[in-house]
């Protein structure tokens, strides 16, 4: 086993869990597209070395999804849509400085 420091200042966990067709889940409500849109914005802003967007399993709030958890801010966005991506990025990346090579 090895241990290393996490290089990211922010980590966004986007639930992409898929449940039975008759059960509510984040993946039924565009969460994969939301994760990809968040990643694309982080990259476009040159913040890939500072902000990680990770797909996650169920966050146990399926009815409120799609859900995005943000650490170390302890923020939890619910009912996220593609239209919310820019606002989340603006709130989460406030104050972060882009890298020269990102
Ligand atoms: S399926 Fe996303 S919180 Fe459960």
Count CB-CB contacts under 10 A for residue 77.
20
> What is the whole-number distance in angstroms between the Cα of residue 64 and the centre of ligand 1?
8
> Each residue of 27-63: pLDDT tens digit?
999 999 999 999 999 999 999 999 999 999 999 999 9
Tokens 């104050």, residue? 95
Of the two residues 85 and 22, the one the predictor is more confident about is: 85
> What is the whole-number distance in angstroms between the Cα of residue 53 and the centre of ligand 1?
16
| pLDDT confidence of residue 100 | 67
Task: In whole angstroms, give the CA distance from residue 68 to residue 22.
Answer: 22
Domains of the chain: 10-92 (3.40.30.10)
- pLDDT for 79 beyond 60: yes
Nearest to 92 by CA among 76, 70, 77, 74: 70
> In the structure encoding, which two tokens stand for residue 76, read together?
């939890």
pTM value is 0.93
| Distance (Å) of CA 64 to CA 36, 39, 69, 101 | 20, 22, 13, 37
Write the residue with the smallest CA distance to atom 1 of ligand 1. Answer: 25
- pLDDT for 102 beyond 50: no
């Amino acid at each position: 086993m090895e241990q290393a420091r996490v290089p990211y200042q922010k980590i966004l966990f986007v639930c992409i869990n898929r449940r039975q067709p008759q059960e509510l889940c984040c993946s039924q409500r565009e969460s994969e597209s939301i994760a990809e849109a968040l990643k694309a914005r982080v990259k476009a802003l040159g913040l890939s070395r500072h902000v990680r967007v990770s797909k996650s399993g169920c966050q146990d709030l399926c009815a409120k999804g799609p859900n995005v958890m943000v650490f170390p801010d302890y923020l939890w966005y619910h009912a996220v849509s593609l239209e919310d991506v820019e606002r989340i990025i603006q709130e989460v990346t406030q104050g972060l400085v882009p890298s020269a090579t990102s």
